[in-house]
Amino acid sequence: MPRFYLVRHGSVSAPADSDTDPDLDPAGRAQALAVADQLALRLPAMLPLLCSPLRRCRQTVAPLAALWNTAPRIEAAAIEFPSPVSDRLSRTQWLQRVLPGTWAQAALNGESWEPGYAARLDRWRQGLRELLTSLDSDCVVFTHFVAINSLHGLAGGGECLSGYRPDNASVTVFDCRDGLLRLLEPGRQKPTVVG
């Protein structure tokens, strides 16, 4: 039964509205180094590394990839939670609206800004779930706050978008049996700014 170590990216240098693909800030770079050391000590062998295409995740995986002398596989399905397309709604405003609610509420709210958003959100969640349930070996996945929350919800953690609060560079462990995700070990949690 494969085990997945999901790592939330380190803290970023800019809010989501000023830069949609920010770099890690100095604390985030230190977090990336620390989580690389933690995983290298914890895991009995090198595992495949999967990574969201966004820069903050690529920078978070880089120290572990260097330690293991391997290249991460960039995985589109591990990307950030989609926002509806709107000239009048910023990413920060969108997150403030939907994070306290449920997935169903986010889909309905998104439809009011972008027709077809509910289907796009469902495809994103399904793609993320399929990524993990299709893997047949242990791996480390570098991804985002809401992505980890989506998997937490699918593993029985409820329908709230932010019912689980993974801290930057925390490690949340899941496994998969018969196509069903199961939370094995929650990572370090902390109220945090999503980025």
pLDDT digits (tens, 9 = 90+) for 148-187: 999 999 888 788 888 889 999 999 999 998 889 999 999 9
Count up the domains in the chain and report the number.
Answer: 1
Please, which pLDDT band fits residue 121 given cuts at 50, 70 and 90? Answer: very high
CA terminus-to-terminus distance, the chain = 32
Percent of the chain clearing pLDDT 70 (strictly above): 95
64-68, 87-91, 139-143 — which is least confidently predicted? 87-91
Please report whether residue 159 resides in a domain: yes
pTM: 0.94
Average of per-residue pLDDT across 78-82:
94
Please report whether residue 112 resides in a domain: no
pLDDT > 60? residue 70: yes
Tell me the three-class secondary structure of 5-42, residue by residue. EEEECCCECCCCCCCCCCCECHHHHHHHHHHHHHHHHH
Please report whether residue 126 resides in a domain: yes
- Report the amino acid identity of residue 100: P
Please report whether residue 44 resides in a domain: yes
102, two tokens: 């449920």
Mean pLDDT of all residues in the chain? 92
Please report whether residue 101 resides in a domain: no
pLDDT > 60? residue 50: yes
Can you give the residue range of the structural domain that contains 37? 23-81+121-185
Please report whether residue 86 resides in a domain: no
pLDDT digits (tens, 9 = 90+) for 4-33: 999 999 999 876 666 678 999 999 999 999
Please, which pLDDT band fits residue 93 given cuts at 50, 70 and 90? Answer: confident
Q: Are 153 and 159 in contact (CB under 8 A)?
A: yes
- CA–CA dist 28, 32 (Å, integer): 6
Please report whether residue 53 resides in a domain: yes
CATH number at residue 70: 3.40.50.1240
Please report whether residue 127 resides in a domain: yes
- At 177 the three-state DSSP class reads strand
pLDDT at residue 195, as a whole number: 47
pLDDT > 90? residue 193: no
